[in-house]
């Protein structure tokens, strides 16, 4: 709450300073710069999800130069969202990125109230006339994690530090296990819900609990490097980085990281508004789109690494489909038979674990 207010003031100051220096704008840029707002769920320094959105913003400013200005508000708790969003609209933002699923419903609401502003929600599930959604197919990276985990684990148990039971996390858990089972059908998973996207201490505690109960590969769906770092401290435990390349936090435990890249998308969307061609699109980019990539594989034998590369390339090429049938729920009901594939909407609505995952849905 407080951080957001401080940053709003800073942002407002920046806008004020910009307005006070009209001479600095070259005459060629007759068009007034587009004000872009970004609302981040965590601090810019989380070294994960929010850091990467911040880098996307920097990339946008770098490419579009003085055609855009950006006001970013970090660490906005969902209850504060409406106030921050309204403030951004008031201070002149015409394109606003709200970068968390926790903001999705609130974004739908404020988008309806502010029809002249273009809204974009990351990981949202529905578009509206002035609301676009964007996400990356991170589950492709999760599949690769599952394959690697099955190769590295001696206890045959993966530990998963999860945030909240939302479809994005649930289908990631399902996909990790699909990847793991493709190597070894005996693989098991334990899940701890940290109840936060960012709480380093709690994330580390969750990883401790999982490791103490015999997990030796830790997957994390929270944003700080704490679980990975703990794996490093414990030794003989491996982990994956989230959102940014976290190799440096765990030189001996890190296997790979899913590295997000929002910059190109932000450039394209800001350009679309400037050119008048903005559409309420639904973008879900896979490994082939460049919206995320996998950090170099570390702490793996050459055979393990080349297998992981092969799986990654097959996913990027679309020859390997993580949501191919048959898919059976935990309770045994068949979702789709062999030969079919889940639609994007079905993936985004996944609220069940697959058969074989011995974890209760909270």
Partner 1 sequence: MTLFEAILLTVITASTPLLIAAIGELVVERSGVLNLGVEGMMIMGAAVGIAAAITTGSSAFGVLAAVLAGMAMAALFALLTLGLATNQVAVGLALAIFGLGLSGVVGAPFVGVQREGIGAIAIPYLSDIPFIGPVLFAQDPFVYAAFALVAGVSWFLFRTRAGLVLRACGENHASAHALGHHVLRVRFLAVLFGGACAGLAGAYLSLVYTPFWTSGMTAGRGWIALAIVVFASWLPWRAAVGAYLFGGVTILQLHAQSAGVPLPTQLLAAMPYLITILVLVLVMRLRGGGAGPAALGQPFVPDR
Which is closer to partner 1, CB of 2 or CB of 333?
A: 2
Minimum distance from residue 159 beta carbon to partner 1 (Å)? 7
Residue 128, classified by CB atoms within 10 Å of its CB into exposed (0-12), middle (13-18) or buried (19+), is middle
Which is closer to partner 1, CB of 76 or CB of 311?
A: 76
Taking the alpha carbons of 198, 204, 209, 215 in that order, is the dihedral positive or negative? positive
Which is closer to partner 1, CB of 132 or CB of 206?
A: 206
Which is closer to partner 1, CB of 42 or CB of 239?
A: 42
* HSE of 247, CA atoms in CB hemisphere, 13 A: 10
**How far is residue 146's CA from residue 152's CA, in Å, rounded to a whole number?**
10
Which is closer to partner 1, CB of 201 or CB of 326?
A: 201
Which is closer to partner 1, CB of 76 or CB of 342?
A: 76
Minimum distance from residue 186 beta carbon to partner 1 (Å)? 17
Minimum distance from residue 167 beta carbon to partner 1 (Å)? 17
Minimum distance from residue 6 beta carbon to partner 1 (Å)? 5
**How far is residue 267's CA from residue 290's CA, in Å, rounded to a whole number?**
13
Angle between helices 138-152 and 167-183 (to 10 degrees): 40
Residues 6+ apart with CB under 8 A from 240: 145, 148, 218, 219, 220, 228, 254, 255, 256, 257, 258
Minimum distance from residue 229 beta carbon to partner 1 (Å)? 7
Minimum distance from residue 198 beta carbon to partner 1 (Å)? 7
Omega into 326 within 30° of 0, i.e. cis? yes
**How far is residue 273's CA from residue 97's CA, in Å, rounded to a whole number?**
13
Q: Which residues bind partner 1 (CB under 8 A)?
A: 2-3, 6, 42-47, 75, 159, 165, 190-193, 195-196, 198-202, 204-206, 208-210, 212-213, 215, 224-226, 229-230, 233, 248-249, 358-360, 362
């Amino acid at each position: 709450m407080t951080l957001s207010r401080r940053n709003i003031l800073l942002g407002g100051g920046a806008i004020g300073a910009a307005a006070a220096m009209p001479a600095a704008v070259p005459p060629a840029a007759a068009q007034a710069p587009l004000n872009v707002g970004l609302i981040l769920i965590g601090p810019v320094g989380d070294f994960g999800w929010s850091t990467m959105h911040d880098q996307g913003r920097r990339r946008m400013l770098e490419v579009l130069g003085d055609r855009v200005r950006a006001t970013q508000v970090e660490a906005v708790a969902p209850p504060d969202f409406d106030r921050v969003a309204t403030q951004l609209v008031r201070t002149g933002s015409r394109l606003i990125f709200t970068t968390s699923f926790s903001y999705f419903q609130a974004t739908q609401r404020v988008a309806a109230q502010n029809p002249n502003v273009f809204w974009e929600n990351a990981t949202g599930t529905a578009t509206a006339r002035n609301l676009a959604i964007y996400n990356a197919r991170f589950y492709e990276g999760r599949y690769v994690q599952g394959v690697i985990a099955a190769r590295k684990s001696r206890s045959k148990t993966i530990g998963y530090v999860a945030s909240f039971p939302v479809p994005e996390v649930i289908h990631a858990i399902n996909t990790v296990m699909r990847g793991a089972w493709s190597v070894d059908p005996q693989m098991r998973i334990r899940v701890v819900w940290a109840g936060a996207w960012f709480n380093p201490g709690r994330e580390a505690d969750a990883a401790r609990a999982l490791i103490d109960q015999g997990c030796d590969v830790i997957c994390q769906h929270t944003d700080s490097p704490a679980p990975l770092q703990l794996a490093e401290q414990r030794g003989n435990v491996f982990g994956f980085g989230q959102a940014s390349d976290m190799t440096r936090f765990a030189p001996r435990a890190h296997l790979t990281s899913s590295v997000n890249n929002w910059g190109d998308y932000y450039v394209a969307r800001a350009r679309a508004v400037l050119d008048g061609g903005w559409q309420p699109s639904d973008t879900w980019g896979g490994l082939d789109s460049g919206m995320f990539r996998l950090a170099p594989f570390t702490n793996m034998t050459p055979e393990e690494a080349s297998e992981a590369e092969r799986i990654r390339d097959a996913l990027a090429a679309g020859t390997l489909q993580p949501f191919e049938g048959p898919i059976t729920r935990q309770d045994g009901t068949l979702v789709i038979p062999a030969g079919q594939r889940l639609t994007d909407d079905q993936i985004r609505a996944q609220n069940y674990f697959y058969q074989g995952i011995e974890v209760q849905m909270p």
